[in-house]
């Protein structure tokens, strides 16, 4: 069954390169990113994991735990990690789930048989501290993901969880935001006493709240 936004992220126990984890317990009160890669010792995945390792401090800053997954076993991940450190310049500094029995990939619908009947696609799930799925993206095996975009979405999710705003196209942290359409002008006066610019009655813009 496909996982939809707002669903509770399925819980599981799994072996990882950093020991066994119970997913929900491991997440604790943090946000989480669970992402799959099709196979160990493959070129695109090698660059992805190296890049995520490099920007891990950005996830840490946002209170986000990151975990990777492939259908290869943990001992294979461990051997591959040496190559990633050597070629990408950063050791893998987050756990990678070994899923040879396809338990987790099955739970998260990461195997799309019409694309490939054994390997996972490149899935990304962002999970909130309430364990609900906030974002789900699927990339094809041949396209490396843009992890700066994942950080951008997390910035938007964390901002909009706190304030009744939405973020416009290509928004980046610090730029102007939009007052959510469910907020009346009357309520907006209380929520945003500094005021806003009305472009249309349904398009009200204001500086990003602190
Ligand atoms: C890769 O990571 O390079 C890759 C993996 C599976 C299929 C195609 C490319």
> DSSP string of 125-143?
EEE-TTSBEEEEEEE-TTS
Catalytic, 45? Answer yes
The structure tokens 């998260």 sit at 108
Mean pLDDT of the chain: 96
Do 35 and 144 form a contact (C-beta atoms < 8 A)? no
Do 10 and 2 form a contact (C-beta atoms < 8 A)? no
Strand pairing class (31-36; 64-70): parallel
Determine the distance separating the centroid of ligand 1 and the alpha carbon of 190, expressed in angstroms: 51
pLDDT of residue 173: 96
pTM: 0.96
Helix (H, G, I), strand (E, B) or coil at 208: coil
Give the domain 163-206 fold.
Antioxidant, Horf6; Chain A, domain 2 (3.30.1020)
Could you tell me the strand order of the sheet in which 122-127 lies?
A: 19-22, 13-16, 96-98, 64-70, 31-36, 122-127, 133-139
Do 12 and 103 form a contact (C-beta atoms < 8 A)? yes
Q: Which of 69, 84, 142, 144 is the best mutation target for the ligand 1 pocket, counting ligand atoms within 8 Å of the beta carbon and taking the most?
A: 142
Q: Return the C-alpha torsion angle 51, 131, 63, 194, nearest 10.
A: 110
Helix (H, G, I), strand (E, B) or coil at 32: strand
Interior angle at CA 124, CA 121 and CA 125, nearest 5 = 130
- According to CATH, where is 3.40.30.10 located in the chain? 13-145
Query: Whole-angstrom Cα distance, residue 24 to residue 203?
Result: 38
> Is pLDDT above 80 for 165?
yes
- According to CATH, where is 3.30.1020.10 located in the chain? 163-206
Query: Whole-angstrom Cα distance, residue 36 to residue 136?
Result: 12
Q: Which of 39, 110, 145 is the best mutation target for the ligand 1 pocket, counting ligand atoms within 8 Å of the beta carbon and taking the most?
A: 39
Q: CB within 6 Å of ligand 1 — which residues?
A: 38-39, 42-45, 141-142
| Residues 83-137 pLDDT 10s | 999 999 999 999 999 999 999 999 999 999 999 888 889 999 999 999 999 999 9
> Is pLDDT above 80 for 194?
yes
| DSSP structural state of residue 71 | S
> Is pLDDT above 80 for 64?
yes
Please give the C-alpha separations between residue 46 and each of 16, 19, 132, 140, in angstroms, as whole numbers: 17, 21, 29, 15
Do 55 and 127 form a contact (C-beta atoms < 8 A)? no
**Percent with pLDDT over 90 in the chain:** 96
> Which CATH code for domain 13-145?
3.40.30.10
């Amino acid at each position: 069954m496909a996982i939809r936004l707002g669903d509770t992220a399925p819980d599981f126990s799994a072996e990882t390169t950093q020991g066994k984890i119970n997913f929900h317990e491991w997440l604790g009160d943090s946000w989480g990113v669970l992402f799959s890669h099709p196979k160990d010792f493959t070129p695109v995945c090698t660059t992805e994991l190296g890049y995520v390792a490099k920007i891990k401090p950005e996830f840490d800053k946002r209170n986000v735990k990151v975990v990777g997954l492939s259908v290869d076993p943990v001992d294979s991940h461990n051997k591959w990690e040496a190559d990633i450190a050597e070629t990408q310049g950063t050791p893998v500094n987050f756990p990678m789930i070994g899923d040879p029995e396809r338990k987790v990939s099955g739970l998260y619908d990461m195997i799309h048989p019409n694309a490939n009947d054994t390997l996972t696609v490149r899935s990304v799930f962002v999970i909130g501290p309430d364990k609900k799925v906030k974002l789900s993206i699927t990339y094809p095996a041949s396209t490396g993901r843009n992890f700066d975009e994942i950080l951008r979405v997390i910035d938007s999710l964390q901002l909009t969880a706190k304030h009744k705003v939405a973020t416009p196209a290509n928004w980046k942290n610090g730029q102007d935001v939009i007052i959510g359409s469910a907020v009346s002008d009357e309520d907006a006066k209380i929520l945003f006493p500094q005021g806003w610019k009305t472009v249309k009655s349904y398009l009200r813009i204001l500086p990003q709240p602190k």
